Amino acid sequence: MSSIRVALVTGANKGLGFAITRDLCRRFPGDVVLTARDEARGRAAVQQLQAEGLSPRFHQLDIDDLQSIRTVRDFLRKEYGGLDVLVNNAGIAFPWNPCPSRVSSFLSKLTAPPKNPEVKFKPLAWLVEISEELVGLMNKFVEDTKNGVHRKEGWPNTAYGVTKIGVIVLSRIQTRKLSEQRGGNKILLNACCPGWMRTNTAGPKAPKSPEEEAETLVYLALLPLDAEGPHGEFVSEKKVVQW
C-alpha cells in the first residue's frame, strides 16, 4: 500500500470542481486526481494547472457509468491502496433562472404538510432511518416528472433542487451506516453547500466566484486526520447548518 495520500475530485475540468482541484493541489499533502467525463477536456484542465506550476493527475470518470467507476476504483487500489479524500462535485443542471434559496424552499415542502392531501411524504428525519424510502422517493419524482404530474403531486419545478435534497439525506444515511460499522467513525462524511457562484450552471450574475465558494469544500477536505467532526452534517460557509 502506498504511503502517499490521495484526493479525488469529480467533475473537475471546469467551474467549482476545477477551483477545488487547484486549491487542493496547493494545499493537500499528497496527490490530487482531477477527473472528468470528457477525457479531452479533463486533460486540457490538467495542462492549465500544470502551466500554473501545479501537478494534478488525471483519470477519466463518468459517474453515470458503472464500468468507469470500477476502473477508477481499481486504479486507486493499485496506485494508493485506497482513497483518502473524495469531493463528489460532478453534476449538471439545465439552464434556468437561478435562485439561491431553492434548496431550503424544497426542505420546507418535504417537512411541512403537502398541499395535496394524497401526497404522503415522510419527514426527512424518518428518511434517514430507511434508505430504501429515499430511493423510492427520488424515483417517484422522476416518474412524476416524466408523466407531467410533478407539480400536482407537490414537487417543486426543479430537478436540481430535488437532487440536492436527496444528496443531503443520502449523506445522513451513509453516516448512520458508517457509525454502525466497526471503525466507521474514522471516516468523516458531510454534505455541503458551496453557495451561489458564477458558473455555467448558475449563470454570470452570481455574487461569488468558484474560487471563493471552493473554500468550504477544501476546508472539509483538509480536516486533520484526528478530527472527530464535522461528521454527517450539512455545512455552509464552513459552519454546520441545522436542517
> What is the Rg, in whole angstroms, of the alpha carbon atoms belonging to the chain?
19
Has 160 been annotated as catalytic?
yes
Grid cell for residue 226: 484526528
Whole-number Cα distances in Å, 65 to 60, 62, 69, 71, 110: 11, 5, 6, 10, 30
DSSP, residue by residue, 90-136: ----------TTHHHHHHHHHHSPPSSTT--PPPHHHHHH-HHHHHH
Q: Which of 160, 169, 172, 189 is catalytic?
A: 160
Rounded to whole angstroms, how far apart are CA atoms 30 and 24?
9
Grid cell for residue 59: 483519470
The catalytic residue positions are 160
